Amino acid sequence: MSQRVAVNPELLHWALARAGVSADTLTGKFPKLRNWLAGELMPTLKQLEAFAAATHTAIGLMFLSEPPDEPLPIHDFRTMPEAVLARPSADLLDTIYLCQQRQAWYRNYQRIQGTQSLAFVGSATRQDSIIETAQRIAQTIGFSTAERQRLPNWSEALRRFIALVEQSGVLVMISGVVGSNTHRPLNPQEFRGFALVDPLAPLIFVNGKDSKAAQMFTLAHELAHLWLGESGISDVQAANLPNEAVERWCNAVAAELLVPLARIRESYRPGESLDEAMQRLAGQFKVSTLVILRRLHDLGVIDRETLWDTYREELERLKALSRKTGGGGDFYNSLGARVSKRFASSLVASTLEGQTPFTEAFRMLGIRKSATFYEEARRLGLHG
């Protein structure tokens, strides 16, 4: 008979809450779970290891005397109720930790390459002009409204935006799951993105479970965080007018970057219905209608109540449209988006050169097979 191990029931409750899993969900796999939680029976080591895996908890934590304090490793700029903010999910924590590991690797890689620090990281302050800061960002990454107007739609503009940000030296990672685990989807209601500031390896993560339309604004918002030199996690939307000073500044810069107020003032037609204005201006500026709504509010055309009511309706419409037209996508294109094409290229090149172990590369890329690695290398033009 397997020996049972002593574990504080509070740790079992903590692990369930941290993973966002109810006891009822796991009783099929662990029939005696209720007894463990009540302290009436202890699990075997094998059962405890399986429980830790099911709740995405490191097994070592299950042997602590009490639940550990797991604060977010970066500043929290979210505006949720205190009860939600007090306990970050395992999915959020693991995503930040993984991105920090990737960033640390890339920082070291950049040092080895003799790369110079990026001057734009931390180059702005909240006292700087919103308009001038947005112009500096646009000039640095080469993101012009003129170029966008030549693109067929805002989805293509988003792809181009991501590519330009990466070309400027920023790692852009967009994923809707933890690592490559499709059984661990990220919740956009918990967070929409975060920025990890570093002069050699600035990183932006965008929650891929959020709507494509909302992702463009999140990317612009997190880019403003890099300019400001403020790492942090955000839950902002284009319609947000945050009370927190940093978030308010970053939101304003993001809106100005995507749709300059002077340009939309010239393009707005008084008397035009809100729906007509949204669609026409979104087509002109190659941004989502959600961003246009925000700018119409900034222009004084609609009030805050109309902004939020219309924003919610438009967001639901875009989500429904995305569900109808969306597909699974190509695995390798998805891999590049999840880990950043810039990061993947550097990591694969380093591994092929023998500088990075394959096991480390596989872990950071979230792959298991050599064939997958070499196919990714071929697509990146690094392997014949």
Domain spans of the chain? 9-63, 90-325, 329-379
Cα torsion angle, 132, 134, 138, 140, sign? positive
Q: In terms of DSSP bridges, do strands 171-175 and 203-207 run parallel, antiparallel, or are they unpaired?
A: parallel
* Average predicted confidence (pLDDT) for the chain: 89
Instruction: Enter the tokens of residue 43.
Output: 């699990």
User: For residue 329, what pLDDT is reported?
Assistant: 54
Query: pLDDT at residue 384 above 80?
Result: no
Q: What percent of the chain has pLDDT over 70?
A: 94
9-63 folds as 434 Repressor (Amino-terminal Domain) (1.10.260)
**In sequence order, which residues have a C-beta less than 8 Å from that of residue 165 and are 6 or more positions away?**
141, 172, 204, 219, 223
User: For residue 144, what pLDDT is reported?
Assistant: 86
- Quick check: 99 and 340 in contact, CB under 8 A? no
- Quick check: 352 and 377 in contact, CB under 8 A? yes
pLDDT tens digits, one per residue of 106-115: 999 999 999 9
Residue 73 DSSP class? S
Q: How confident is the model at residue 142 (pLDDT cuts 50, 70, 90)?
A: very high
User: For residue 18, what pLDDT is reported?
Assistant: 86
User: For residue 341, what pLDDT is reported?
Assistant: 93
Buried b (16+ CB within 10 A) or exposed e, 276-313: ebbeebbebbbbbbbbbbbbbbbeebbeeeebbebbee
The terminus-to-terminus CA distance of the chain in angstroms comes to: 55
Q: How confident is the model at residue 342 (pLDDT cuts 50, 70, 90)?
A: very high
- Quick check: 158 and 216 in contact, CB under 8 A? yes
SS3 211: coil
- Mean pLDDT, rounded, for 48-68: 89
